[in-house]
Amino acid sequence: MNGKKWLKVWFLTITACIFILMSINYIIDPSNIFNSNFLKKYGQLNERYLKIKYLNSNYKKYDSYMFGSSRIGTTEPSAIEKYIPNSKFYNFTLSMATIHDYLVYLKHFSKHYQVKNIYVQIDIENILHHTTGGFHRKDHPDVSKENILDFYRVHLLGIYPVGWRKKIKNNFFINSEQSYSLTNGVWYRQTREAQISSDCSEYIKRESTFHKINKRVNGAGKNYEKTIQALKELKNISNVNNINLIVLTTPHNHNMMDSYKLDAYLKFLYDISQITDFYDFSGYNTITTNDCNYYEESHYRPFIGKIIAARIFNDKSIEIPNDFGVFVTKDNINEHLKYKKLEVFNHDNKKFN
């Protein structure tokens, strides 16, 4: 075979491979970018893209936003709207979101949408990461300013075995335990909710994450100062734009809390207090030490979101444990940290002795 024929064969082979790869990505659509609908059940949704795409056409329906990682994803907007008259919230929960993400999107929202209130849930895990990656976490081009064609090219020409496998698995081999509403941004876990309601003790026995032995190894990441700077900018933008900023810390399950170094945890709480007042639901309390309040060690159930809001807005009609939620300011932070340090000490002493 002469040189020209070899070049032709290679060209056709490469072209065929590219076409096949593009077809796979379009048909499987692992992050639901193309809305191809060949496979109806989702895999790894790119919420950052899908929610901006939705809001671009529907932003006038909302004037307030909930920011948080997937851990706030179970909270219905109505849980907060009931306390702020005439507000209309959208749950802008994002997988593995960081404070940097909240800043990026608040900048975008304040320029393009009406924003009266933002309800920001901060994970203690934010001490570890300033930003996160992954093909299913790429920002919408309107936010990143990436060329729209480049955005689609990446999703058409990338190789995403995890995304392909999850989408195919959800469509042909298992019944997905989750559902998702783009109109309010909320995730629903009906199967797990029913299992816990039916027999929580049995559910806890089966859920492996409740039985891990975590050690306090997670401290501040190398970009921790950038995280704190992002929170400062978030506060400043809220002030400049007259946005009502409500900040709270995530009530992590006790098993997850066991993974954070004490000094890093306390420093994070202190640093937050120097920037803004906030409601602290983290640590070891009646809610976080009861596994029946969680789907696994990372995500709390929907009714916890209602209790959080009830504490923040001082709703006396809802029963709230006395040790769940403390309003923290510059003035009381040092006293609060003393209590938190003793709380961790007592927890560890009880657990390991």
Task: Select from 310, 321, 237, 312 the least CA-distant residue to 279.
Answer: 312
Taken in order 90, 91, 95, 98, the sign of the CA dihedral is: positive
Task: Select from 133, 144, 161 the least CA-distant residue to 25.
Answer: 161
Matching residue, tokens 């559902």: 179
Task: Select from 247, 244, 282 the least CA-distant residue to 125.
Answer: 282
pLDDT confidence band for 314 (50 / 70 / 90) = very high
Task: Flag whether pLDDT at 353 surpasses 70.
Answer: no
**pLDDT score of 2:** 65
CB-based burial of residue 62 (10 Å sphere; 0-12 exposed, 13-18 middle, 19+ buried)?
buried
Q: In percent, how much of the chain has pLDDT > 90?
A: 83
pLDDT confidence band for 41 (50 / 70 / 90) = confident
Task: Flag whether pLDDT at 1 surpasses 60.
Answer: no
The reported pTM is 0.94
Mean pLDDT (whole number) for 15-33: 93
User: In total, how many domains does the chain have?
Assistant: 1
**pLDDT score of 352:** 67
CB-based burial of residue 315 (10 Å sphere; 0-12 exposed, 13-18 middle, 19+ buried)?
middle
Domain range holding 269? Answer: 3-352
pLDDT confidence band for 174 (50 / 70 / 90) = confident
The radius of gyration of the chain's CA atoms, rounded to the nearest angstrom, is: 23
